[in-house]
């Protein structure tokens, strides 16, 4: 199977199938606008079959000793290291980000596999002998069942890999519904998992948009849902999956503020702000989208930001000279242009205008910086998810913190831990570290009475 210039397949059990759907999306390379693949959406029957395949594979896989499940992760790790460059090129092809950014994302994904390899240790339970006279008690961790993973376009390898290794090594089966805008990487991960020796049916891939997601959310054989995407959808997923009795973690969008104090070292700070705001064309949940100058730093900060933003070289992600790639789709660029027009009309000062920048083919929007942004503007309130940076000023740290805390989002700021608060996260257990072990397992208490 080749994942360029053909129909993108689903993985149901051991079989790669082409969905027989009437709904087919063209998948463009965002850097050139040219079609690289066609994505037929999975039918409801195909999604049923994928869930059934996962359900059928679950008993044997969940019964497989944890050290053996970890062996699949060791092999996956070796394959991903060996194919890192191929994976990075695929991410760049379908997402548009630079190759350096894609390599970084694949590396972050591999790090989760590293963690999953420690399953025999991190899945250990605990026990207490003689919790009462003649009675011992032990707590063990058990898989929750079939997990659905629903992922966004901006990290086509990394975000699925936040979920897949941990869910699988904990003994669950998995159905992935990757973003319909970047489906190729999820398919490639399926190929690697099978090559690593994962039994057929333990991992399945289906495609589509809202209908496919709703099917997964309502299906009685889906026990848990891991979601990453925009805030409104995260809330919808959380409410709907919970209403169907499922365990759910839903990581949402963000509006990240970066406070620059007036004694900050601007030589170091400004390149960090530029990388944060314009890396991956601003399409990262941790992208800094508001630069908040405190005290007298504002004018100098803006001058340096403008100089450095305007020096960024736009181009297709595969070009080694490129500092910043395109946004994901032409429609997304159109939405961003509407935000830019609106903010300019409301009195924000456009100090770097990215409109019309970059190659004519592909979905380019250059780095864009607004000064004098105020809290009544949508450009401050909404997550734009593109290369648009708002500059605001505060007279002191208290005023800056009040402004920052007025945002409805809470994914990242220099004083917040990453992981998500407020409308950036719905659930109890986060996606990484030991929280992932706790999310993908249920605990069971066994009480033994000795006579």
- Sign of torsion over alpha carbons 228, 150, 196, 84: negative
Interacting residue with ligand NAD among 98, 102, 151, 352 (CB under 6 A): 151
Interacting residue with ligand NAD among 280, 390, 411, 436 (CB under 6 A): 411
Segment contacting ligand NAD (CB under 6 A): 1-9, 19-27, 41-49, 148-156? 148-156
Element of type H or E holding 174: strand 173-177
Question: Is 117 in the active site?
Answer: no
Using CB under 6 A as the binding rule, whether residue 96 contacts ligand NAD is answered as no
Interacting residue with ligand NAD among 420, 437, 439, 441 (CB under 6 A): 420
Using CB under 6 A as the binding rule, whether residue 99 contacts ligand NAD is answered as no
Using CB under 6 A as the binding rule, whether residue 161 contacts ligand NAD is answered as no
Using CB under 6 A as the binding rule, whether residue 41 contacts ligand NAD is answered as no
Catalytic residue among 175, 285, 287, 373: 285
CB atoms within 10 A of CB 34: 12
How far is the C-alpha of 279 from the C-alpha of 267, rounded, in Å? 18
- The residue number with the shortest CB distance to ligand NAD is 229
Interacting residue with ligand NAD among 18, 35, 127, 210 (CB under 6 A): 210
Secondary structure (H, E, C), 341-360 = HHHHHCCCEEEECCCCCCCC
Interacting residue with ligand NAD among 209, 312, 344, 401 (CB under 6 A): 209
CB atoms within 10 A of CB 381: 13
How far is the C-alpha of 383 from the C-alpha of 402, rounded, in Å? 19
The nearer residue to ligand NAD, 61 or 425, going by C-beta atoms, is 425
Q: Where are the alpha helices (DSSP H) in 140-261?
A: 158-169, 184-195, 210-218, 231-243
Q: Please say whether the beta carbons of 58 and 224 come within 8 A.
A: no
Q: Please say whether the beta carbons of 270 and 287 come within 8 A.
A: no
Interacting residue with ligand NAD among 23, 62, 118, 230 (CB under 6 A): 230
Using CB under 6 A as the binding rule, whether residue 89 contacts ligand NAD is answered as no
The nearer residue to ligand NAD, 153 or 278, going by C-beta atoms, is 153
Which residue in this structure is represented by tokens 């999604």?
Answer: 47
- The answer for 84, left when phi > 0, alpha when psi is -120 to 50, beta otherwise, is alpha
**Catalytic residue IDs:** 285
- Which residues contact ligand NAD by CB under 6 A? 150-155, 159, 177, 179-180, 209-210, 213, 228-230, 233, 236, 251-254, 285, 383, 385, 411, 420, 424
């Amino acid at each position: 199977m080749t994942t360029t210039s053909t129909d993108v397949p689903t993985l149901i059990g051991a079989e790669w199938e082409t969905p027989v759907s009437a709904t087919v999306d063209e998948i463009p390379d965002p850097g050139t606008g040219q079609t690289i693949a066609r994505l037929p959406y999975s039918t409801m029957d195909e999604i049923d079959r994928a869930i059934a395949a996962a359900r059928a594979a679950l008993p044997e896989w969940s019964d497989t000793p944890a050290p053996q499940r970890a062996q699949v992760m060791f092999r996956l790790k070796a394959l991903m290291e060996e194919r890192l460059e191929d994976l990075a090129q695929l991410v760049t092809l379908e997402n548009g980000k630079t190759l350096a950014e894609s390599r970084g994302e694949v590396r972050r994904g591999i790090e989760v596999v590293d963690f999953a390899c420690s399953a025999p240790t991190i899945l250990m339970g605990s026990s207490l002998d003689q919790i009462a006279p003649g009675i011992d008690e032990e707590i063990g961790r058990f898989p929750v069942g079939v997990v659905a993973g629903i992922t966004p376009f901006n990290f086509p390898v990394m975000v699925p890999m936040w979920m897949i290794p941990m869910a699988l090594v904990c003994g669950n089966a998995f159905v992935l519904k990757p973003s319909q805008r970047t489906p190729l990487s999820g398919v490639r991960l399926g190929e690697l998992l099978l090559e690593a020796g994962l039994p057929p049916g333990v991992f399945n891939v289906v495609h589509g948009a809202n209908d496919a997601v709703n099917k997964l959310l309502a299906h009685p054989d889906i026990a848990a849902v891991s979601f990453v995407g925009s805030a409104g959808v995260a809330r919808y997923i959380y409410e709907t999956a919970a209403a169907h009795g499922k365990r759910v973690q839903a990581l949402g969008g963000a509006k990240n503020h970066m406070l620059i104090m007036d004694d900050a070292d601007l030589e170091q700070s400004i390149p960090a702000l530029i990388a944060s705001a314009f890396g991956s064309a601003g399409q990262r949940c941790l992208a800094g989208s508001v630069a908040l100058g405190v005290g007298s730093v504002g004018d100098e900060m803006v001058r340096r930001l403008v100089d450095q933003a305007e020096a960024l070289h736009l181009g297709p992600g595969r070009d080694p000279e490129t500092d910043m790639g395109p946004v994901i789709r032409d429609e997304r660029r159109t939405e961003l242009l509407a935000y830019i027009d609106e903010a300019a009309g409301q009195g924000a000062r456009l100090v770097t205008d990215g409109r019309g920048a970059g190659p004519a083919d592909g979905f380019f929007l250059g780095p864009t910086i607004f000064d004098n942004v105020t809290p009544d503007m949508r450009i401050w309130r909404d997550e734009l998810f593109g290369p648009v940076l708002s500059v605001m000023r505060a007279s002191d740290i208290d005023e800056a913190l009040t402004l920052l805390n007025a945002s409805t989002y809470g994914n990242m700021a220099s004083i917040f831990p990453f992981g998500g608060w407020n409308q950036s996260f719905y659930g109890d257990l986060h996606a990484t570290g030991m929280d992932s072990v706790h999310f993908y397992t249920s605990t069971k208490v066994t009480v033994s009475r000795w006579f």
